[in-house]
Structure formats: C-alpha cells, structure tokens
Structure 1
Amino acid sequence: MNFSSFKNTNPIYFYFISISSFVLANLIRSKSISFYYFLLLVGLVFFVLGMVKRMKNK
C-alpha cells in the first residue's frame, strides 16, 4: 500500500479530520455506541498523526 499522500499532507488536515470525527461522534453518541467509539478512535489516531507530523517538520 502506498502512503505517499500522507507524507505530503499538512498537519492541519489531520487536525481537521480529527475535530470533525469528534464532532460526528458526539452527534451520534445516543444512536450507535459502537460507531461512537470507532469515531473517537479515528479522531485520536488522526490527532496523533498530526502531532507526529508537526514534530517532524520542526
């Protein structure tokens, strides 16, 4: 699998995906608890990816 697009992405896009997944998770919290936890996990992963990408650029 080729992940070159992740290498060339700005950290702000990772943060944006993270925030949007957190917002979506809070919107569907009462409807589907398993999808809620999945979106929380996705948000956390993209937040960490953004932090790592930001630290590597400095």
Structure 2
Amino acid sequence: MITKEKVKKEIDRLSDTELEKVYLYLSSLNKTKKTKLNIRSLKLKGKLDNQNLRSVAYE
C-alpha cells in the first residue's frame, strides 16, 4: 500500500522539470473533481406540475 510518506520521498527525488509535471498533473486532478454534472431538464411549461407522474406514465 502506498502511503503519503512514500510519495513525499519520491517527490523529493524528482528534478525540477519532473516536479513541475507532477504539480500540473495534481492540479488537473483537482479541477476535474470540481466540475459539476449538467443535468438535462425538459421545458414542459408546467404541463405536468400538478399531475401524478406515476399514473401518467402508466397510461
């Protein structure tokens, strides 16, 4: 199992160019986590607002 200490030791051994690549990679990981999922929505203009959707679906 990899621990943070092992990762830190390996990072300490890297050259400056390799360290920059690792930093860019890690910063890209943080950006991907922050993106929100776009949930599609239908513009029904209130047609189904006051109806029981289950009964409408089974008709």
Task: Answer 1 or 2: which has greater helix percent.
Answer: 1
Establish whether TM, by shorter chain, passes 0.5: no
For normalisation by structure 2, the TM-score amounts to: 0.40
Larger-gyration structure (1/2): 2
Which of the pair has the greater relative contact order for Cα pairs under 8 Å at 6+ separation?
1
